[in-house]
Structure 1
Amino acid sequence: MPASERLFVDLIVRSSHKYPNWDPEVSRKKPIGVFLKEGNIYEEGIAEKYDIPKPVEHGVDSTEGTTWVTSRNAQQVSVDADIAGQTPALVECSVKASFKFNSNKGAVLAMDNDTILTISPPGKLRRLLAAKELQKGYVIVSEVHRCSSYARFLSSSAGATVALGLSAQPPMADVGSAKVDAKWVHSSSAGNFKARVNKEGKRVFYPLFRLVALKESSVSTGLRGELDEDPPLPDVEPPWDPVEDGGEEQHQAKAV
């Protein structure tokens, strides 16, 4: 996994307990430091066998709203005149936010018009512990964010400030097209930035997901449904040590 990608994933997962997809529009196929998709419990009949309910999508009817996910060291600040002066396009953005990274490098993920697919109640997945078809080392995607537009940013230096904004223009009446002319803009020329917009407004990007571990655990960090008798499976911890600014793992001393 490239250094920038690993650092971005590490910063987001340690603040949100969810894993960001570095390229939400690209299908993952190579098992090089990334999570490899092995199968689908619904397509293979495992969910039906163990009475796992189908995912529920929340927020389908919502047409507005942006979800912002940041690293722990990000502090939201106002989009002041200096930032707007450096990037005039921000003034026209209906959706915008500015963040200052107080220490080290920082990360921001923005998802516009997103929905969340979840398996509810999450404790139902615990039944898969009895599934002989699955190995105990497997992890399962239990929650997915889906959106029609996203932007991600990884700062190149500590103490940086960045403003992100989404500028959208309504379709022109004389063109006869329902497509929206929208684009993401950002104020910082330094850093790793990527954004995509689906012109038809379809939710085709999957920038963020939750992974749970197929193992027994006395501690669970997931949400628990009111009627769920079984505790949820534990969230998956990153399979690497905390990452330094350069993208390298920090090897921690272990008590013996």
Structure 2
Amino acid sequence: MPDIEREYVDLLFRASKKYASWDPEIPVVVGDWGRITSGRTGWAFWRRSRGTFLKEGNIFDDGKAAEHAINVPKEYGADSTEGVTWIVSENVTECDISAAAGGQTPALAQCTVSAGFKTSSGRGAILAMENDTVTSIDPPGSLRRLLDEKSMQGCVVVSQVHRCSKFARLLTAKDSHSVALGLSVEPPVSGVVDAKLDAKWVRSSSTGNFKSKVGKDGKRDYYPLFKLVSMTDQGTSSGMRGGELEEPPLPDAVPPWQLKEKSNQV
């Protein structure tokens, strides 16, 4: 995982406890299971822990879910037809859009949805998802029975996935203090048969690492955010009083570099 990708993932994980995909076009499905790469030693000693999720299978396809009586995942928000969900890092706050844009991007004035953000220090991470749904395994604690198996030791499972029809992700430049981001939608051309809305993401600054996609047919074909859970020695004891929950929630799968940070602090 390149440093710039790692920083984006790290910033949004600290804010949401979910993994942000650097390439949301790559499908991520609830029930996918595998491992998080942690890098190698030896000649590549200079490389940092990678933290990439490598899929090895899906518990609903290979029979693991049925074996452990894990419910089929449920999708929430499928009937929603509009709206943007914003996920930002902890060092980013919303601000007045006119101040963030600085009057440099007239296209923002025509956006159906827009927002301004200010970064307090370093780089900031911003994720926008239009028309998103959330698919989850309920209850998520039911995965404990599966992950407790010896064959699943060291594995993680995707317990929740955000899926959307349009997305924009931005990792701001270090010297960037504010930015405005919006979704511009132009009406279909008059008189053209089967004409569709022309939508695009616009921003007030060209700095930083930016990527956006718009599904022309409105299908939710992008997977910008997902949740990984794992079974760890630390997570097996939740600290909850017995009898309150039959299946306590599993701990989030933490990026490997954050685990190293915690161990260095001990």
TM-score, structure 2 normalization: 0.83
Matched residue type, 2:63:
G
- Give the secondary structure class of the aligned counterpart of 1:85: coil
Amino acid in the other structure paired with 2:98: D
Matched position secondary structure for 1:36: strand
Q: 1:85-111, CA deviations, whole angstroms, 9 ceiling, x for partnerless residues? A: 201100000111111001111110000
Q: 1:117 aligns with which of 124, 135, 139?
A: 135
Report the Cα offset of residue 3 of structure 1: 1.3
**What's the CA shift for 1:82?**
7.0
**Counterpart of 2:31?**
none
Q: Secondary structure at the match of 1:203?
A: coil
Question: Residue by residue, what CA displacement relative to the aligned partner does 1:189-235 show, whole Å, maximum 9, x if unpaired?
Answer: 21111100001110000000000003352238xxxxxx962111110
Question: Does structure 1 residue 162 correspond to structure 2 residue 179?
Answer: yes
1:219 corresponds in structure 2 to 238
Q: Residue 80 of structure 1 aligns to a residue in which SS?
A: helix
Partner of 1:49: 67
Question: CA RMSD, aligned part only?
Answer: 2.6
* Residue matched to 2:249: 232
State how far apart, in whole Å, the 2-side matches of 1:86 and 1:100 are: 16
Alignment partner, residue 107 of structure 1: 125
- For residue 86 of structure 1, the aligned residue among 82, 90, 104 is 104
TM-score (norm: length of structure 1) = 0.87
Mapped contact 1:180–1:201 kept (Cα < 8 A): no
Is it true that 1:36 corresponds to 2:54 in the alignment? yes
Equivalent residue, structure 1, for 2:227: 210
Q: Which has the higher helix share?
A: 2
Q: Percent identity?
A: 52
Number of residue pairs matched? 243
Q: Distance in 2 between matches of 1:171 and 1:228?
A: 53
Letter of the aligned partner of 1:139 in structure 2? V
**Conserved 8 A contact 2:184-2:201:** yes
Per-residue CA deviations over 1:173-197 (Å, capped at 9, x if unaligned) read 5222253200000111211111000
Kindly provide the amino acid, as one letter, of the partner of residue 4 in structure 1. I
Gaps of 5+ in 1: 221-226, 243-248
Amino acid at match of 1:57: E
Task: Describe the shift of the 1:229–1:253 C-alpha distance in structure 2 as closer, same or farther (beyond 3 A).
Answer: closer
Give the Cα separation in 2 of the matches to 1:229 and 1:48: 19
Q: Deviations over 1:54-82 (max 9, x none)?
A: 11000000001111000001110011167
1:15 is matched with: 15
Mapping for residues 140-219 of structure 1, pairs under 5 Å? 140-158=157-175, 160-177=177-194, 179-215=196-232, 216-219=235-238
